[in-house]
């Protein structure tokens, strides 16, 4: 079955970025020349998605505004001959059909995903957590869609992480299948490092089947008192196979200040317009 819908989870409180996130959603923080959320929408569009379901929450109205048309601004830019700027903002509302779901209580990622049940219906769908950014963003979801087509089970993105940081993620126990592909045998959300079943952590890209919804409905609060997607996937394992795809290339966790700084610097250095100047100013040591 073709996958045409992507859920982008953008309801998190962003406490790691306080005080900034008192009035700016963390998804609106800039990464070089675009807010974090735009990378997620672009990634969904690049893999052929035509409906983006964005989960937001209180204080996140600017996400909606960002993807809305601003006729007055567009007209003014056109009149002043600012064609480049006009193009940048004109294409935003047309990038994808985006519908917004307001999560009224922030009870965890699993709860957020459950709130999309009616919009998603009985179709498989992509889930993107915008904090996780990948250098190879054009190919990760493509590869995962390929695995879904071949094995007909849910697919989650994985990455080897260090023992010290494993406790920040969902972690899997798995059987190696081929190349970067694993079959998931068990999952645990944010284990203590000494209890982690492996060093393979769940990254924020998923292909989910609609069978996840009844599992989410039956999932009690878990790690951190939140309804965890990882726990629902764990119970889904009794009924359906789940596969993992180990991602390659650079990865940035834009959900923490150090990760966001890392992403900003790396992406700026690689940027065709800003990179060369930056390298000249900061990275050539004076004679
Ligand atoms: C969420 C998931 C976790 C996953 C992580 C990836 O955690 O619950 O399983 O490993 O995203 O970034 P969060 O970062 O929302 O605490």
Rounding to the nearest 10 degrees, give the CA dihedral for residues 66, 263, 269, 160. -140
Which ligand 1 atom lies nearest to the CA of residue 201?
Answer: 10
Residue from 146, 143, 150, 277 nearest 158 by CA: 143
Is the CB of 129 within 6 Å of ligand 1? yes
Which ligand 1 atom lies nearest to the CA of residue 253?
Answer: 12
CA of 122 to the centre of ligand 1 (A): 24
Q: What are the backbone dihedrals phi and psi of residue 88, each rounded to the nearest 5 degrees, phi first?
A: -60, -45
Is the CB of 200 within 6 Å of ligand 1? no
pLDDT tens for the chain, 287 residues: list them: 589 999 999 999 999 999 999 999 999 999 999 999 999 999 999 999 989 999 999 999 999 999 999 999 999 999 999 999 999 899 888 889 999 999 988 899 999 999 999 999 999 999 999 999 998 877 899 999 999 999 999 999 999 999 999 999 999 999 999 999 999 999 999 999 999 999 999 999 999 999 999 999 999 999 999 999 999 999 999 999 999 999 998 899 999 999 999 999 999 999 999 999 998 887 655 54
Residues sharing a CB contact under 8 Å with residue 167, sequence separation 6 or more, in sequence order: 190, 191, 192, 193, 196
CA of 130 to the centre of ligand 1 (A): 11
Is the CB of 157 within 6 Å of ligand 1? no
CA of 19 to the centre of ligand 1 (A): 22
Give domain 5-281's CATH superfamily. Spore Coat Polysaccharide Biosynthesis Protein SpsA; Chain A (3.90.550.10)
CA of 129 to the centre of ligand 1 (A): 8
């Amino acid at each position: 079955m073709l996958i045409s819908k992507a859920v982008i989870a953008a309801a998190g409180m962003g406490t790691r970025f306080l005080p900034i996130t008192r009035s700016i959603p963390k998804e609106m923080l800039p990464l070089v020349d675009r807010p974090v959320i735009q990378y997620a929408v672009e990634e969904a569009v690049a893999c052929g998605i035509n409906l983006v379901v964005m989960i937001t929450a209180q204080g996140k109205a600017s996400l909606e505004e960002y993807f809305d048309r601003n006729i007055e601004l567009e007209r003014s830019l056109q009149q002043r001959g600012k064609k480049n700027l006009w193009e940048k903002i004109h294409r935003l509302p047309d990038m994808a059909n985006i519908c917004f779901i307001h999560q009224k209580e922030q009870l965890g990622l699993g709860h957020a995903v459950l709130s999309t049940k009616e919009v998603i219906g009985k179709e498989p769908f992509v889930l993107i957590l915008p904090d996780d950014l990948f250098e190879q963003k054009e190919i990760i979801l493509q590869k995962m869609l390929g695995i879904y087509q071949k094995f007909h089970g849910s697919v989650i993105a994985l990455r080897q992480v260090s023992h010290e940081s494993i406790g920040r993620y969902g972690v899997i126990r798995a059987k190696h299948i081929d190349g970067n592909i694993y079959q998931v045998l068990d999952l645990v959300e944010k284990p203590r490092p000494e209890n982690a079943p492996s060093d393979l952590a769940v990254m924020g890209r998923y292909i989910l089947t609609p069978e996840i919804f009844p599992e989410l409905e039956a999932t009690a609060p878990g790690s951190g008192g939140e309804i965890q997607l990882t726990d629902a996937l764990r119970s889904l394992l009794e009924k359906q196979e789940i596969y993992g795809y180990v991602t390659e290339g650079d990865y940035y966790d834009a959900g923490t200040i150090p990760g966001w700084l890392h992403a900003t610097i790396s992406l700026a250095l690689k940027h065709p317009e800003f990179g060369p100047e930056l390298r000249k100013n900061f990275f050539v040591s004076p004679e």
